[in-house]
Amino acid sequence: MAHALYPGSFDPVTYGHIDVIRRASALFDSLTVAVLNNGAKSPLFSVDERVNMLQGVCHDIPNVKVDSFSGLTADYVTLNGYNVIIRGLRAVTDFEYELQMAQTNRKLAPDADTVFLTTSLEYAYLSSTTVKEVAYFGGDISKFVPREVEELIFKKFKK
């Protein structure tokens, strides 16, 4: 059985992430999407808000569950017995960081392999950071995130 983990910040989840989630869920027996609780960053959304958003957008995919974790991805992988780590690759600019992370995780959690899914072309430019910036200046983000996520982002910026 192959149990995959897709770790990330998901601040917020975008159509690019959802594309990776759907494709990874079709490849593996189960997929856990896990939000990193990273005290070093100041995210727009709390961990609970990000978990709720992910649960909302993944509710129709039966083998996907959503969780959160703190600390090293490799420790979370080992503790829960995942054998695959999923990461999306958008462009060559992602590669160096992702390669380093995959190799580090392989040393720390030798029973798991990182599998990269190349982002579908229509989402290759997309990032959570861009979405937040466009929304901050009142731009149209409807092509980047689902409706429910769009509403939550604009609600944050109205506060």
What are the residues binding ligand PNS (CB under 6 A)? 7-9, 36, 72-74, 101, 104
In the complex with ligand PNS, the residue whose CB is nearer, 120 or 127, is 127
Backbone angle region of 28, left / alpha / beta, with phi > 0 → left and psi within -120 to 50 → alpha = beta
CB of 9 to ligand PNS, least distance (A): 4
Which residues are bridge partners to 113 per DSSP? 84
First-last CA distance in the chain? 46
**25 vs 50, which CB is nearer to ligand PNS?**
50
| Beta carbon of residue 135, minimum distance to ligand PNS (angstroms, whole number) | 18
Smallest distance, Å, CB 38 to ligand PNS?
7
Give catalytic status of residue 142 as yes or no. no
Residues 6+ away with beta carbon under 8 Å from 47: 35, 37, 68
CB nearer to ligand PNS: pick between 129 and 158: 129
**Which listed residue (9, 87, 128, 132) is catalytic?**
128
* Residue 118: φ, ψ to 5°: -75, 130
25 as an active site residue: the answer is no
9, 17, 25, 87: the active-site residue: 17
Residue identified by tokens 């703190």 is 70
Q: Is 65 an annotated catalytic residue?
A: no
Q: How far is the CB of 158 from ligand PNS (least distance, A)?
A: 25
Active site residue 90: yes
**Measured from the CB atom, is 15 or 159 closer to ligand PNS?**
15
CA distance 65 to 54: 9
User: Pick the catalytic residue: 41, 107, 147, 158?
Assistant: 41
Q: 28: part of which helix (H) or strand (E)?
A: none
Please give the structure tokens belonging to residue 68.
């959160």
